[in-house]
Amino acid sequence: MRGLRTGLVEQSDFAFGTSSRSSRLLHGGIRYLAQGKIGLVREASLEKTVLHQIAPHLAAPLPFVFPTYRQNRAWKLWQLMFGVKLYDLLCGGRNLGHSSWLDAADTLNSVSGLRSAGLAGSVRYFDGFTNDARLVLDTLRSAAIQGAWILNYARYDKAKLDGLWRVEVEDSLTGERFNVSAKTVVNATGPWADGLAHSAVKLRLTKGIHLVVERSRLPVTDAVVMTEGSRVLFAIPWGDRTILGTTDTDYDGSLDDVRANAEDVAYVLAITNDHFPDAHLQKADVISTWAGLRPLIASAKGGPSDISRSHEIKNPEPGWWDVAGGKLTTCRLMAEQTVDRLVASAELKAMPCVTADLPLLEEVTFSGLLPPEVTREAVMHFCRNEWALHLDDIMIRRTSWHYYHRDAHVVAKQVAAWMAECLDWDAARCQLEWERYQSFA
């Protein structure tokens, strides 16, 4: 698009990292207003409207009801009333809907089952709902159409500067190694970013988990903000399901195997039951969970929720760029800023960035906010056109079927049979794929 020859290697499947494990919101971050981070909120607020323009199939306006309770002094109704109006203005006056406020009675009418004791009222404001993994995949499909060279299951191992960067990449499936030469290398490896040779990034990782329950068990129509002191959690409608989350706890475990533990699940259920006392949600109601790591720019100070969500672009060696931190919402902007800086630094000839103005994809296939229907045609499409190599690639990231369907293992058996047909798997490979999927599940 800008006239640069570009390649991307991903050690696992595309969106394997945090970008398939988020809250799926396109948001300015209303809670950061309370921390006085106006610039950060404005940047992300404008960007959420850009994504609505360029990828309407992956962005829908989502109203949020934020109830306040007299016993929680961290969130006062009058401050939120001011905050949501400022929030609308920070979108350049073009937020996805106009904010409003409700008294206690109207709040209870609009959110069925909400705890009434101590309720002061609520504000209603707009952010966007997306599908994080699909946003990654459709961005890559768009890049491939523009000529980018894209490879999953290929791990950057090491690199040395020798006029050009000589980069050693390992095929994660076969162990074969190959070299790539490039004028510039961009390290955009999220939670892994500070572990790479040449990286100058310092991260503080925090874990966040989500639970999925039947929508009928918590029938929210708008998203609902639930609070615990100054922390906020969400109940988000997702088709016939409701997503609950998230947590924010320091993490020092394996980056490759991040899971919701019993304590995380109990915490989210307890906050939800506190806000919806008649729901009596229990572990058995949980259809699925996911857990991800926030790659936050390191700061030893403050609790996990106080650390800045802003991004950082660094250039520690000639032609080596680190881009870290930030949010899913600002992914396009982070890419634009990184490419602008590396083009200027290396004096490369490049066209101006146009990604804020052009549709992400002209033709959308089996991609959207909700999982597609389980069909052979969809599975064939993912294998042939979207780099799917493993059963979990389709069940988890291409479709979210794993998270959405209570009988996901039945769906997975069928999907494995279709993949076997398309990718020529024998019985032994089918068994291996099944075991691999079970280990993620």
Ligand X SMILES: Cc1cc2nc3c(=O)[nH]c(=O)nc-3n(C[C@H](O)[C@H](O)[C@H](O)COP(=O)(O)OP(=O)(O)OC[C@H]3O[C@@H](n4cnc5c(N)ncnc54)[C@H](O)[C@@H]3O)c2cc1C
Binding footprint of ligand X on the chain (CB under 6 A): 9-12, 16-19, 21-25, 27, 155-156, 188-192, 196, 208, 246, 292-295, 326-329
**Least Å from the CB of residue 40 to ligand X:** 12
Q: What is the dihedral of CA 38, 41, 46, 49, to 10 degrees?
A: -150
Nearer to ligand X, 327 or 332 (CB): 327
Nearer to ligand X, 101 or 251 (CB): 251
A 10 A CB-CB count for 329 gives 26
Are the CB atoms for 88 and 45 separated by under 8 Å?
no
Q: Token pair for residue 290?
A: 């996911």
For 226, phi then psi, to 5°, come to -115, 140
Are the CB atoms for 295 and 191 separated by under 8 Å?
yes
**Least Å from the CB of residue 188 to ligand X:** 6
Nearer to ligand X, 233 or 287 (CB): 233
**Least Å from the CB of residue 277 to ligand X:** 26
Residues 6+ apart with CB under 8 A from 97: 61, 63, 125, 126
Strands 25-26 and 119-129: antiparallel
CA-to-CA separations, 25 to 127, 135, 292, 329, in angstroms, rounded: 7, 11, 14, 7
Are the CB atoms for 420 and 429 separated by under 8 Å?
yes
Element containing residue 222 per DSSP (H, E): none
Nearer to ligand X, 20 or 110 (CB): 20
Give the bridge partners for 312, in sequence order.
324
Nearer to ligand X, 42 or 155 (CB): 155
Nearer to ligand X, 26 or 104 (CB): 26
**Least Å from the CB of residue 340 to ligand X:** 18
Nearer to ligand X, 306 or 377 (CB): 306
**Least Å from the CB of residue 206 to ligand X:** 7
Residues 6+ apart with CB under 8 A from 165: 159, 181, 182, 183, 184, 185, 319, 320
Nearer to ligand X, 236 or 343 (CB): 236
**Least Å from the CB of residue 317 to ligand X:** 17
Q: Token pair for residue 326?
A: 């930030």
**Least Å from the CB of residue 16 to ligand X:** 4
**Least Å from the CB of residue 384 to ligand X:** 22
